[in-house]
Chains A and B, each alone.
Chain A
Amino acid sequence: MSNPVVAVGLNHFIVLSALLFAVGLFGVLTKRNAVAVLICIELMLNAVNLNLVAVNKFITPTAFIGQVFAVFVITVAAAEVGVGLAIIIAIYRNRLTVNLDEFDWLKW
C-alpha cells in the first residue's frame, strides 16, 4: 500500500463518476440533435454503473450486489437505446428532422 496522499480510494471514483454524470447531463440539457441526447444519456448511465461497481469493490467486495445491479442497468440501457433509436428513425420518417426544437406536436 502506498502512502495515503497518492492512494486511490472510493472518493476518487465517486468524484470521477459525478464528473462524467455532470458532463452527460449538460449534453442532455443542451444538445439539439435527438441522437446526441441519447448518447449523453448513455454517458450518464455509465457514470452510475461506475459508481455501483466502485461501491461494490470498496464497501462490500464479497457481496457482489453492485455488480448485479450494474448488469441490470446495462440490460435496461441496451433496451432503451434500441427503442430510442427506433423512435427517432420513425419520427425522422415523418418530419425529416431530428432537431428536438421542431418536435412540437404537443404545443398549441
Chain B
Amino acid sequence: MSVWGVVAFWGLAAVTLLAALLVVSLRNLVYSVLWLAVTFLGIAGLYLLLEADFLAFVQVLIYAGAVCIMVIFAVMLTQQGGMGRTSLFNYRNVQVAGPVVLAVFAVMAGLAGVLDRYAVSTERVPPDTVGQLAVMLLSKYVVAFEVAAVLLLVALVGAIVLAREVKPGE
C-alpha cells in the first residue's frame, strides 16, 4: 500500500468511526440516519482501498442509497410530533451493555492475533473483480445465488403484506 493508501486508510477509518459513534449517540433519529449514510460511504471508500470496486459500488447503491432512504421513510411513518428526542438510550441497559460490549471487543481484537498464522499473500487482486464474481456466482455458488433471489422475492412480498393498510371489516 502506497503512502497515499495509508493516509486514505486513516482518514476513512476516522470518518467511518466518528460517523458510527454519532449514529449511536445522537438523539434525533433523522440525524442518526444521515450519519449512517456517511458511515456507509466511508466503508465504500475502504472497499475501494481493498480493491473491491464492485462491492464499493454496491455499498453506495444499496446501503447509502436504498437502505438509508427506506429507514428515513420508516422514521417519518412512525413518529408523531417532533423529531428532537426520538432516539434515546435506555439508561438501565447502559450499565450492563458497556462491560458486555467491552468484553466482546476485547475478544475480537485478541482474535486478530490468531490471524497471524495465515500467511499474508503477496499476490494482487485481479483488476477484473466483476467478471470473477460473476463466474463464481453462476458456477460454484449458483444454488446460493438462486436461493438469495427467492429470499429477496419473499422479503418483498412479505414487506408489502405486513405494511399494507388493513381496512376495518376486511
Contacts and interface: CB of A to CB of B under 8 A. Distances in A.
A and B interact: yes
A88 B74 contact: yes
B70 A46 contact: no
A85 B20 CA distance: 20
A80 B70 CA distance: 12
Given A29-B93, A92-B78, A8 B158 contact: no
Given A39-B32, A59-B120, A83-B162, A18 B71 contact: no
Given A11-B112, A26-B24, A50-B43, A70 B71 contact: no
Given A33-B88, A50-B43, A57 B52 contact: yes
A96 interface: yes
A25 B29 contact: no
Contacts of A57: 50-52, 125
B118 A59 contact: yes
B108 A74 contact: no
Interface string A53-92: 1111111111011011011101111111111011111101
A95 to B, nearest CB: 10
Chain B interface secondary structure, helix, strand, loop or mixed?
Answer: helix
A54 B50 contact: yes
A106 interface: no
Interface in A5-42: 6-16, 18-27, 29-33, 35-36, 38-40, 42
B133 A46 contact: no
Contacts, number: 240
Nearest to B52: A53
A64 B132 contact: yes
Nearest to B102: A22
B104 A16 contact: no
Interface in B110-169: 112-113, 115, 118-121, 123-126, 129, 132-133, 136-137, 141, 144, 148, 151-152, 154-156, 158-160, 162-163, 165-166
Interface of B: 1-3, 5-6, 9-10, 13, 16-17, 20-21, 23-24, 29, 32-33, 36, 39-40, 43, 46-47, 50-52, 54-55, 58-59, 62-63, 66-67, 70-71, 73-75, 77-80, 86-90, 93-94, 96-98, 100-102, 104-105, 108-109, 112-113, 115, 118-121, 123-126, 129, 132-133, 136-137, 141, 144, 148, 151-152, 154-156, 158-160, 162-163, 165-166
29 contacts: A6-B3, A8-B9, A11-B112, A11-B113, A16-B17, A18-B105, A20-B17, A20-B20, A26-B24, A29-B93, A29-B100, A30-B89, A30-B90, A30-B93, A50-B43, A56-B52, A57-B50, A57-B52, A59-B119, A61-B51, A62-B125, A64-B132, A71-B133, A79-B155, A81-B71, A82-B159, A85-B74, A89-B77, A93-B166
